[in-house]
Amino acid sequence: MAEAIPPEKALEAPPENANAGGAAAPPPAEPENGPLAPIIVKKIIEEGHAGAHGGAWKIALADMMTAMMAFFLLMWLLGATNDSQRKSIADYFKPTAVTKSVISVNQTSGSTGLMGGQSIIDETALPLAATQTGLLQILTPRDTTGSKDSDKEQSAETSEEEKKRLSNELDKENFEKLQKELNESLSQDKELSKLKDQVNFVREKEGLRIEVIDKADFSMFSIGTTKLSPKALALIQEIARSIMDMPNKIKVRGHTDSLPYKGPERNNWSLSAERAETTRQVLGTRGVNDARFARIEGVADKEPFNPQDGLDPRNRRISITLMYREPE
């Protein structure tokens, strides 16, 4: 910054246009009103400034607004969807291996890209979690030899379970058809229609159990013997006609009541087993192949129809069970 020159020294300073000989130029004439005021030149040099702040704050603000928008969208989705939809949305954003076939089949958002122009909250547009493959499973190194064997075993187990499920479903359909046809045939017969209420159908874990149950006024076998009454024989024969063409294995079980058997040579165990064998013979003579019988057994009074009363006549019965088939 230039220093101001006092008036008295400004008058004493030599003129700038002094000649080489040192002769001074004549002083300027004083104005009529007195001497001229000195001309003072003041130069201000501003010191350096830190400069502009730039646009970094704008980027930070934009990031914050984007995060807030995403947060509010998340809150809206949580409030506007049910549990099933939320699970589907979560499954959708799991890491997946996207292939061309997946893109062509599951185009579920975006105008022309992966998501196909549909909303992700549309139930019909959400992909199935079961069809997605985890990215971590693809990137994690593993023993290819062991994994192939494991995959084959898992695939074989799944295949066996699926075969068994399909086989059981087919058997259930056949059991329903058999029950309907047998009830109709018993209803159409004048004599057997009276015994219709004594035929009981029970679905159990092994298959369909057909029970022929005694009543107070009717017994299939003479007391203490294995001889079938004529009506009971006709009823067993009608059951044989209904099941002889079915492929299912058969289990025959005899039951007695708790009345002790008279005589040392026999008891309720042997009596129930012999009655089951008699039933098997009748079924065999009416066209049921012997190879289909899987088990013939007697359980005496250990599985009563009425556990509260061991002498209830309904405890005396024959069970013919059509067993579920094993998948081939």
Of the candidates 160, 226, 166, 238, the residue with the CA atom closest to the CA atom of residue 196: 238
Q: What sign results for the dihedral spanned by CA atoms 9, 10, 12, 15?
A: positive
Q: Which residue has the higher pLDDT, 43 or 219?
A: 219
Lowest-pLDDT range of 182-196, 240-254, 290-304: 182-196
Neighbouring-strand partners of residue 254: 298, 318
Look at residue 151 in the predicted model and tell me its pLDDT.
Answer: 57
Residue environment code for 173-207, b if the CB has 16+ CB neighbours within 10 A, otherwise e: ebbeebbeebeebbeeeeebeebeebbeeeeeeeb
What is the rounded distance in angstroms from the CA atom of residue 251 to the CA atom of residue 321? 5
Q: Which residue has the higher pLDDT, 90 or 58?
A: 58
Quote the mean pLDDT of the chain.
76
| Whether the predicted model's global pTM rises above the 0.75 cut | no
CB 327 within 8 A of CB 161: no
What is the rounded distance in angstroms from the CA atom of residue 254 to the CA atom of residue 298? 5
Query: What's the mean pLDDT in 157-178?
Result: 83
Domains identified in the chain and CATH numbers:
61-137 (no CATH), 172-323 (3.30.1330.60)
Question: 7-37: per-residue pLDDT in tens?
Answer: 555 444 455 444 444 555 555 555 566 667 7
Residue-by-residue DSSP string for 132-168:
--BHHHHHS---HHHHHHHHHHHHHHHHHHHHHHHHH
CB 195 within 8 A of CB 186: yes
Look at residue 101 in the predicted model and tell me its pLDDT.
Answer: 44
Question: 42-67: per-residue pLDDT in tens?
Answer: 777 766 555 556 678 899 999 999 99
Question: 104-160: per-residue pLDDT in tens?
Answer: 444 444 445 544 555 555 555 554 444 444 444 444 445 555 555 555 566 666 677
